[in-house]
Amino acid sequence: MKKYLILIWKIIYFNLKIIFAGKFFWFLIGSAGFFAGLSVINVLSNDITRISDLYGILLFSGILLVFYPSVFGIQNDQDARTIEILFGIPNYRYKVWLVRLLMIFVIAFLIILFYTFLSNLLITKFRIAGMTAQVMVPVLFLGMLAFMLSTVIRNGNGTAVVMIIFGIFFLILSDNLSRSQWNVFLNPFDVPRDMNETAWRLTIIKNRIILVTGTLLFLLAGLYNLQKREKFI
C-alpha cells in the first residue's frame, strides 16, 4: 500500500512538474499577491460588507491560478519531449490529460477555498462553499477555453495572446451584458436594485448552465484535437 501511494505521488509530482514547468510557485505568489492587495484596497476604500467585490477579487485570483497550466500545458509537453510518449499510450486522452486537468482545477479549487476562508474570517461573513462554487464556474469555463485553444494554436504564447484578447472582449461586453445570462463575468452577488429577485436568480441559473455546458464542450473539443497526432509531432 505504501509503495502504491508513493508511486501515485511520483506520478502526480511528475505531471505537475511538466504542467507548471517549475513556475507554479510564481503564479501562486502572483495570485496570492493579487488577492491580498485587492482585498486590502477593498477594505480601505469600500464597504467591507460588499460580497460582490470579494467575488471579483476571488474570480480573478482563480483565473491567474489556471491561466499558465491551461495555456502552456501542451507546449510544456512539447518542450519536455513527452508529447510523443503520450501519443504512445492507448486512450491517453482519458488517462493523462483528464488527470492533469483534474489536478489543475483541484489545486485551483483548494487555493480559492483557502482564499474564501480567509475573506470570511478577516473581512466579512458569507457562505464559503457557495462563494467558492460560484467562483469556480467561470474559472473552469475560461480554463477549459484556454486548454481547447492551446490544442488548436499549439503555442503557449499565441494562446496567451488570444486568451488576453478574449478576456478584454468579455470585459468590454460585461457592462452591456451586466444582467445577461451570456455574461461570462456575471456577478451573482451583485443584485440589480430594479430587478426582481426571482428573475435575477433565474438569470444566474441560466448563466451557470451556459458556462458549465461550454466547459464540457471545450473539454471534449480539446481532447478531440489531441487525437490529431501529426499536428503535434
Q: Where are the domains of the chain?
A: 2-231
Q: Phi-psi region for residue 211, left (φ > 0), alpha (ψ -120 to 50) or beta?
A: alpha
pLDDT in tens, the chain (233 residues): 666 666 566 666 666 665 666 666 777 788 888 888 877 777 776 655 578 888 888 998 899 888 888 887 777 666 556 655 565 666 555 567 787 888 889 989 999 999 999 888 888 788 899 999 999 999 999 999 999 998 888 787 888 898 888 888 887 877 777 778 888 888 888 888 878 888 889 999 999 999 999 999 999 998 888 776 555 55
- Grid cell digits, residue 206: 441560466
Predicted TM-score (pTM) of the model is 0.84
Residue 230 contacts residue 112 (beta carbons within 8 Å): no
Residue 197 contacts residue 191 (beta carbons within 8 Å): yes
